[in-house]
Each structure stands twice: as structure tokens, then as C-alpha cells.
């Protein structure tokens, strides 16, 4: 985990965000920033709107009120063309991967390059194989279909597709859900390696405590429609909120913290 300076201009600025569905308010005057080069983990109890927040930021859901500035521009004030150009600078990995089942991996990853970057099919598929290698998949996997892959391979392929257009910000929605501990740990290591090598920022929705400790520079906790705290884990752990205490200081939280401290000592 790399320490980041938060004095720089945020890449993502959410101010006064409100999301309502009928009479149900999910977010109410929510503020949050994502800074260059950081991995920001977003956590919260069930129904706190973690995925709704992600969808609001990437333009898949128009909020009821508030502003979302993405890469210095007000997303909601952009024209359709401007928004499309901005969205190409964002990569999104959805829950479950959301790969096209009728396309093999090479075709899945080449598709956004063809549709949005105007590459020829041959060039796009060549680059798709490069992306697959980047996430640790073997060459022969390029011609496999999603149904032929293990859960861990699907996650890596979905990550490769999210990286297809070399995004500046990567959005991940529960990327380690459904993986065994070994597979989840391998994904965490891959994520930090790629972040350090490529320099993108990460907005990470997760409930996985091990992932938080292994990858995140800061953690934002959603509660009662707002961001309760957004800071380093050391600071977040010390908050008096009952959900934070139960989440970070329960048996699983203590085990994750202990494992992280042990790994840190071994690396020093």
C-alpha cells in the first residue's frame, strides 16, 4: 500500500449528492473525493448505496441532486458527446464480470477498442491479448468463452476489459466476491501491481476486509446517506460509530488487521 498526498486536485469530486428512489433516500448531501494514484475503498452496511454511488459517478445513474465532477469536468453539465469522451477515460469492472457470454475473451476485450477507439479488429484483438497477459491470463485463454473459465479467470478477464482503453480511473464493484482466499489475495496483489505500474486511480466498492488492508490508501464509510469518514485505515478504525466498531474490530476485522501487520513486517 502506497502513501499518497491528498493535497492535489481530486480526479473525482462528489458534492451534495442526493439519490432518491420514490420515497426512499439512499444518499443525502454526500461528499467524497478520489485523488490521483490512490486506491479508495468504499464500504458500508447493506443498503447504504455503495454501488448506487459508483453508478452515479460513472454516469450510469443520474442523481436527484448534487454535482459530480469527473477529471475536472461537471459530468451532469456535459453534452452527450463530451460525456462519452470523458467516460472513455474511466474503466468499470462490474459485479460478476458482466462479460458477453457469446464472445470469447479476446473479442470481449477488443470490443471497446473497436467501438470507442476506432481500431481495426486485427489491431484491437492484438491489444486484447496484451491486456490478457497483463492481468496474468495465459495466451490460450484468449479464445475461451466466459463459461469455460474459473471464477478467478473471469475476474481477471473482466479487469482486462476494464483496462482496455487505458483508463485514468478504474471503478471496481466487489471484485473479489465469490473468490476463495487464495484467489482473492492474488487479485489484490495484481491490482496494486497494476496501479503502481500504470498510475491509474481506483474507486473500489468492497466488503472484503482483507482487500481493504492489502490495497487501500484510504477507506470511505457510508452511513445514513453520507460519508461518515474517509481516511486511512488507522484513522477509520478509531471511529466510535457502532457499525465501524463491529466491522473493523469483530473477529474477521481483527484477523485481517493482524494478517496485514504480519505481511508488512515481512516486507520490511
Q: pLDDT grade, residue 2 (50/70/90)?
A: very low
Separation between Cα atoms, residue 110 and residue 164, nearest integer Å: 7
For 34-78, what is each residue's pLDDT tens digit? 999 999 999 999 889 999 999 999 999 999 999 999 999 998 888
Q: Which of 131, 147, 150, 148 is nearest to 139 (CA)?
A: 131
pTM for the structure as a whole = 0.91
Query: Domain extents for the chain?
Result: 97-166
DSSP letter at 115 equals H
For 159-210, what is each residue's pLDDT tens digit? 999 999 999 999 999 999 989 999 999 999 999 999 999 999 999 999 999 9
3-state secondary structure 40-61: EEEEECCCCCHHHHHHHHCCCC
Instruction: Give me the chain's average pLDDT, please.
Output: 91
Separation between Cα atoms, residue 263 and residue 56, nearest integer Å: 35
pLDDT for 83 equals: 85
Q: Which of 67, 48, 68 is nearest to 58 (CA)?
A: 68
Amino acid at each position: 500500500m502506497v502513501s499518497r498526498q491528498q493535497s492535489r486536485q481530486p480526479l473525482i469530486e462528489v458534492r451534495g449528492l442526493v439519490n432518491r428512489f420514490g420515497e426512499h433516500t439512499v444518499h443525502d448531501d454526500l461528499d467524497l473525493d478520489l485523488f490521483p494514484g490512490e486506491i479508495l475503498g468504499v464500504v458500508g452496511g447493506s443498503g447504504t448505496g455503495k454501488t448506487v454511488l459508483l453508478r452515479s459517478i460513472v454516469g450510469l445513474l443520474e442523481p436527484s441532486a448534487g454535482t459530480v465532477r469527473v477529471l475536472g469536468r461537471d459530468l451532469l453539465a456535459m453534452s452527450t458527446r463530451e460525456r462519452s469522451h470523458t467516460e472513455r477515460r474511466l474503466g468499470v469492472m462490474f459485479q460478476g464480470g458482466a462479460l458477453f457470454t457469446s464472445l470469447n475473451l479476446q473479442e470481449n476485450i477488443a470490443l471497446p477498442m473497436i467501438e470507442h477507439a476506432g481500431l481495426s479488429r486485427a489491431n484491437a484483438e492484438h491489444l486484447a491479448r496484451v491486456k490478457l497477459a497483463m492481468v496474468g491470463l495465459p495466451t490460450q485463454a484468449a479464445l475461451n468463452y466466459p463459461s469455460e473459465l474459473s471464477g478467478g479467470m473471469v475476474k481477471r478477464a473482466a479487469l482486462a476489459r476494464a483496462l482496455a482503453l487505458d483508463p485514468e480511473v478504474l471503478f471496481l464493484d466487489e471484485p473479489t466476491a465469490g473468490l476463495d482466499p487464495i484467489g482473492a489475495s492474488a487479485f489484490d496483489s495484481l491490482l496494486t501491481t497494476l496501479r503502481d505500474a500504470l498510475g491509474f486511480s481506483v474507486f473500489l466498492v468492497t466488503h472484503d476486509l482483507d482487500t481493504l488492508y492489502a490495497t487501500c490508501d484510504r477507506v470511505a464509510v457510508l452511513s445514513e446517506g453520507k460519508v461518515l469518514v474517509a481516511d486511512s485505515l488507522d484513522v477509520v478504525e478509531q471511529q466510535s460509530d457502532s457499525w465501524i466498531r463491529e466491522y473493523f474490530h469483530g473477529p474477521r476485522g481483527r484477523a485481517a488487521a493482524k494478517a496485514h501487520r504480519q505481511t508488512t513486517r515481512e516486507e520490511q
